[in-house]
C-alpha cells in the first residue's frame, strides 16, 4: 500500500492508464440571396441582390452594439487608471516598501505551502480580500481627510517583528499573519481608525489564510476523519457495496483506502466557512436569524461535502482502479467538494430565507 501526500486516499500501487478517444467534425455553409434589383450604381438591375446592403446594415448595427458593450469595461479601466494615477504620489512609497518586504514571502508561498492541498486556499482568500478592499475603498475615501492613528505605528512595529520571526525561524503562521497585521497598520497610519472600521471584514477574512498550529490541527482532524470514514462506510454499505472500515482505512473490493487529512481536515472546514462568510457579506441579508443560522450550518455542510468527496473517490477507485483514484479524477473530486458545498450553502440559504419570511408573516398576523 502506498500513500500519496497530495491525495486524500492511499491505495495499493497498480498500473493503470487510459486512451483518449479522438474525434473530428467539419461543416460548410452556403449563403444564397435572391435580389430584387435594388441598387444605385452601374450594373444594378433586376438581377442584382439586395442582400449585401442588408448585410452591411446588420454588420453596422452589430458593430454599434459591440462598441456599446465594450464601452463599459473601457470606462471602468479608465476610472481605475485615473484613480491609481491620482493616488500614485501618495501611495507609491508604501507599495514599493510592501513589495520589497513581502515579495520573498509570496515567492516562498507560491512555490511551497500554497501549491499544496492543505494550504491551497490561501491565494483565493488573499485575492478575494484584496477585491473586497478595492470594493470598499470608495467608502474609505468618502470619510474625508485622512486622520492618521498613532496606534498604527505600534501595530506596524508588531507586524514587522512578527515577519522577522516568521521569516528567520520558518514559522509559516507568523509569516502569513504578519501580512495581515502590516496591511492593517498601513491603513491605520494612512487613513485612520475609521477607515479600518470600514474595512474590518476584508482583514477578518484574511485571517482564514493563516495556518493554525499543527498540534491543534492534528488533535481536531482525527475525530473528523473518523466521522467521515464512518459515514462513508455506512452509506456505501447501505447502497450494496462490499465495504468495510478499520479506523480511517476503508476496504472496498480489493482496494484499501486511507482517509487522509486533506479529505476530512480542519483546513477544509475553515475554507468552506470562509466562503460562507464571503457569501453572507456579498448578500447583505437584513435578517440576523438567516445570517447566524447559515454561519453555524457551514459546519455540517462542510462535513457533508467531505463525505460526498470521499464517496466519489472510493467509487472511482472501485470502478476505475487506483490509477484513476490517484490521478486527474482525484483533483476533480476536490472540485466536487466545493461545488457540493456551494450547492448546499445555496439550498440552506433558500430554506432559511423561507423560514425567515414565514416567521415574519406569523408575527405580522397578530392583533
Q: Spot the catalytic one: 191, 245, 290, 309.
A: 309
Q: What are phi and psi of 342, to 5 degrees?
A: -65, -45
Query: Is 178 within 8 Å of 162 (Cβ atoms)?
Result: yes
Q: What is the 3-class SS of the chain, one letter each residue?
A: CECCCCCCCCECCCCCCCCCCCCCCCCCCCCCCCCCCCCCCCCCCCCCCCHHHHHHHHHHHHHHHHHHHHHHHHHHHHHHHHHHHHHHHHHHHHHHHHHHHHHHHHHHHHCCHHHCCCCCCHHHHHHHHHHHHHHHHHHHHCCCCCCCCCHHHHHHHHHHHHHHHHHHHCCHHHHHHHHHHHHHHHHHHHHCHHHHHHCHHHHHHHHHHCCCCHHHHHHHHHHHHHHHHHHHHHHHHHCCCCEEEECCEEEECCEEEECCHHHHCHHHHHHHHHHHHHHHHHHCCCCHHHHHHHHHHHHHHHHHHHHHHHHHHHHHHHHHCHHHHHCHHHHHHHHHHHHHHHHHHHHHHHHHHHHHHHHHHHHHCCC
| CA proximity to 159, closest of 98, 114, 109 | 98
Residues paired with residue 243 on neighbouring β-strands, in sequence order: 252
* Residue whose cell numbers read 492543505: 118
Residues paired with residue 246 on neighbouring β-strands, in sequence order: 249
Q: Spot the catalytic one: 191, 245, 263, 290.
A: 263
Task: For residues 317 and 325, give the distance between their C-alpha atoms in angstroms, rounded to a whole number.
Answer: 5
Establish whether 309 is a catalytic residue: yes
The strand order across the sheet containing 255-258 reads 243-246, 249-252, 255-258
Residues with catalytic roles: 263, 309
Amino acid at each position: 500500500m502506498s500513500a500519496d501526500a497530495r491525495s486524500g486516499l492511499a491505495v495499493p500501487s497498480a498500473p493503470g492508464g487510459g486512451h483518449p478517444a479522438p474525434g473530428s467534425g467539419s461543416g460548410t455553409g452556403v449563403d444564397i440571396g435572391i435580389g430584387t434589383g435594388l441598387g444605385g450604381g452601374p450594373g444594378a438591375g433586376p438581377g442584382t441582390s439586395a442582400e449585401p446592403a442588408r448585410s452591411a446594415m446588420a454588420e453596422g448595427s452589430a458593430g454599434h452594439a459591440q462598441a456599446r458593450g465594450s464601452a463599459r469595461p473601457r470606462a471602468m479601466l479608465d476610472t481605475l487608471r485615473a484613480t491609481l494615477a491620482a493616488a500614485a504620489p501618495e501611495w507609491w512609497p508604501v507599495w514599493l516598501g510592501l513589495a520589497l518586504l513581502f515579495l520573498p514571502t509570496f515567492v516562498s508561498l507560491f512555490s511551497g505551502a500554497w501549491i499544496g492541498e492543505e494550504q491551497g486556499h490561501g491565494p483565493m482568500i488573499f485575492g478575494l480580500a484584496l477585491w473586497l478592499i478595492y470594493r470598499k475603498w470608495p467608502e474609505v475615501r468618502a470619510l474625508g481627510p485622512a486622520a492618521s492613528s498613532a496606534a498604527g505605528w505600534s501595530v506596524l512595529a508588531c507586524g514587522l517583528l512578527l515577519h522577522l520571526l516568521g521569516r528567520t525561524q520558518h514559522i509559516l503562521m507568523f509569516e502569513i499573519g504578519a501580512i495581515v497585521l502590516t496591511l492593517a497598520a498601513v491603513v491605520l497610519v494612512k487613513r485612520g481608525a475609521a477607515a479600518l472600521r470600514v474595512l474590518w471584514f476584508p482583514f477578518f477574512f484574511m485571517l482564514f489564510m493563516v495556518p493554525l498550529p499543527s498540534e491543534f490541527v492534528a488533535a481536531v482532524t482525527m475525530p473528523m476523519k473518523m466521522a467521515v470514514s464512518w459515514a462513508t462506510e455506512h452509506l456505501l454499505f447501505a447502497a450494496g457495496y462490499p465495504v468495510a472500515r478499520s479506523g480511517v482505512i476503508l476496504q472496498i473490493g480489493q482496494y484499501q483506502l486511507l482517509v487522509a487529512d486533506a479529505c476530512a481536515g480542519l483546513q477544509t472546514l475553515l475554507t468552506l466557512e470562509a466562503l460562507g462568510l464571503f457569501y453572507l457579506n456579498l448578500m447583505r441579508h437584513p435578517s440576523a436569524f438567516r445570517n447566524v443560522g447559515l454561519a453555524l450550518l457551514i459546519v455540517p455542510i462542510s462535513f457533508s461535502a467531505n463525505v460526498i468527496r470521499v464517496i466519489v473517490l472510493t467509487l472511482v477507485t472501485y470502478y476505475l482502479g487506483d490509477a484513476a483514484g490517484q490521478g486527474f479524477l482525484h483533483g476533480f473530486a476536490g472540485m466536487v467538494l466545493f461545488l457540493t458545498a456551494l450547492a448546499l450553502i445555496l439550498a440552506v440559504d433558500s430554506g432559511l430565507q423561507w423560514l425567515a419570511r414565514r416567521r415574519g408573516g406569523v408575527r405580522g398576523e397578530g392583533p
